[in-house]
Amino acid sequence: MRAVLAVLAAAAITLAGCGGKPADGCPPGQRCLRAGNVSDPGSLDPAHSFVKQDQTVLNDLIVGLTTFDARAEPIPGMAESWTVSPDGLFWRFRLRQAVWSDGHPVTAEDFLFSLRRLVDPATGAGYAVLAYPIVNAEAVNQGKLPPTALGVGAPDPMTVEIRLRHPAPYLPAVLAHYGVVPVPAHVVRKWGDAWTEPQHYVSNGPFRLVSWRLGDRIVLEKNPRFYDAANVCLDRIEYFPTTDSISAERRVKRGELDLNSAFASNRIRYLTGRGRMGDYIRMHPWTDIHYLVFKMSDPAFADVRVRQALSMSIDRAFIARKLLGADQEPADAFVPPGLGAPPAAPDWAGLPLAERQARARELLAAAGYGPGRPLRFELKHPIIAAPVPTAIQADWRAIGVQVTLTRVDTAVFFSDLQLGDFQVGITDWIADYRDPTNFLNLMRSDQAASNYSGYADPGYDRMLGEAEASADPARRAAILQAAERRLLQAAPIAPVFMNPSHNLVSPRVTGWVDNLDDVHPKRWVCVEPQTAAR
């Protein structure tokens, strides 16, 4: 998930209003949550969703074969149970008795329809790649096979079968992902893309969509037809686009909002000072890695010694702990901790900065660069990445490298990455599921959409393929660790720091559990009943 940078970019968009005006306030006696969500979602169609704001709302509306508990661990959802073949390639899910919010039964057909729709190239789903472990998914998505060739089946209306091309122990997390959850086949067939309009929207989760006025709020109400409705505390949720983070802070403090899904890192000292909002701040380790990308086809970065020198000379500790200083951590590795693989880091990790910079100068000299012929290039970054590029520029200046910083609009920046219109860029990635492959697969030679550097190493690709084919967890983890070491040695990228999740949560909110994914389905959250309309 390209989330932090993309999320903040989305927050800058001005949205026009549409739709009917929702009722304001919370009826006395009901439990209502008012939440800031940075910006409006891009879509409430799972197949057309791609950023965190979409996830936040969709987690409340739609439940997949699996779903997430309060800790963001996958648990049974529409499937009450499942079995897996010994080789890990055949999964059978038994559905529970459940209905959509319009009373229509949830059946296996909904899942077959939705998974085929996800990989159908005509859909243009941003998360079709998550289905690639399924037999024929990639070929279908590339237009080489029809959607009916996808490796899914339904021997009866209450059973879904999925055939995989390689073991995927993380499949339960993928099936709970907001981009993979089902859509109501009977509604989508009737209304087409208009099915997401509030008057047509049908869901199977703990809440249903009441209204959505762009730039104002999204209103959800408890779904009485949800299979576990008796254990859902909240009666109503209102999501507000909080594009101004400072204003959102004040609204949370005044009690106008119960929580906000972000706050600026540079505000941490202010918020914790003088008893302001220290008890509202919720920060937790996250799978958000910020990293530099070197364009491999640029002559300046053709020599691996240059890329290694640039990576090892960055003062990550200063950037993470002093410059940013809101629980960020330095990152020498690409795969964050907690994803099931042993730690991997380059051989220079842990050396003092002065020693790393001396070694970097030696590598640059061996590559033909020095005082008489300094290395020169452009570091392109989105507006919101400041002040990190300036610190990196200073680190590189210390080893004799001359860097020009170019700041561009965030949407333009990501377009430039896709088009290869850069020399060095800085971006980030957040795990879509807890497995090292969600990061390592970004750098496969056949992943042009995410492999901005153009890194192409048959050996690296082969190692990832071997890990995919292994049903032995220990062997798989060891191969993935070795693949990451190979990637870091080649240095097409340079990890810089890990960002924690940042939430403001009122003490009146209960059931909120900080977790590695920063996923918080409101099914598990509660507040006291409203005594008077807010």
Domain residue ranges in the chain: 1-62+205-280+506-534, 63-189, 287-500
- Closest by CA to 177, choosing from 430, 512, 418, is 430
Q: In a 3-state reduction of DSSP, which class is residue 172?
A: helix
For 4-73, give the DSSP string: HHHHHHHHT------SPPPPPS--TTS-EEEEE-SS--S-SSGGG--SHHHHHHHHHH---SEEE-TTS-
Q: Which CATH code for domain 63-189?
A: 3.90.76.10
- Residues, the chain, total? 534
User: How many angstroms separate the most distant Cα atoms in the chain?
Assistant: 76
According to DSSP, the residues that pair with 134 across neighbouring strands are 164
pLDDT at residue 134 tops 90: yes
> Could you give the CA distance from residue 259 to residue 506 in angstroms, rounded to a whole number?
6
Q: Taking a C-beta distance cutoff of 8 angstroms, is the pair 164, 171 a contact? A: yes
> Could you give the CA distance from residue 518 to residue 209 in angstroms, rounded to a whole number?
23
| Residue carrying structure tokens 């060095």 | 424
- Closest by CA to 486, choosing from 338, 367, 344, 366, is 344
Tokens of 288: 């958000």
Q: What pLDDT, in 10s, does the model give residues 446-466?
A: 988 899 999 999 999 999 999
Tell me the mean pLDDT in the region 398-409.
96
Q: What pLDDT, in 10s, does the model give residues 360-373?
A: 999 999 999 999 99
Q: Which CATH superfamily is domain 1-62+205-280+506-534 in?
A: Periplasmic binding protein-like II (3.40.190.10)
pLDDT at residue 19 tops 60: no
Predicted local distance difference test score (pLDDT) of residue 534: 52
Q: How far is CA 285 from CA 481, 516, 517, in A?
A: 21, 6, 9
Would you say domain 287-500 falls under CATH 3.10.105.10?
Answer: yes
Q: Taking a C-beta distance cutoff of 8 angstroms, is the pair 496, 334 a contact? A: no
Tokens of 514: 């900080």
Among 13-27, 155-169, 462-476, the minimum mean pLDDT is found in 13-27
Type and span of the H or E element at 428: strand 424-430
Q: Taking a C-beta distance cutoff of 8 angstroms, is the pair 200, 74 a contact? A: no
Predicted local distance difference test score (pLDDT) of residue 24: 58
Q: Taking a C-beta distance cutoff of 8 angstroms, is the pair 173, 74 a contact? A: yes
pLDDT band at 333 (very low <50, low <70, confident <90, very high): very high
Tell me the mean pLDDT in the region 460-482.
95
Give every CB contact of residue 270 below 8 A, 6+ residues apart in sequence: 276
Q: Taking a C-beta distance cutoff of 8 angstroms, is the pair 210, 199 a contact? A: no
Q: Of all residues in the chain, what percent carry a pLDDT higher than 90? A: 84
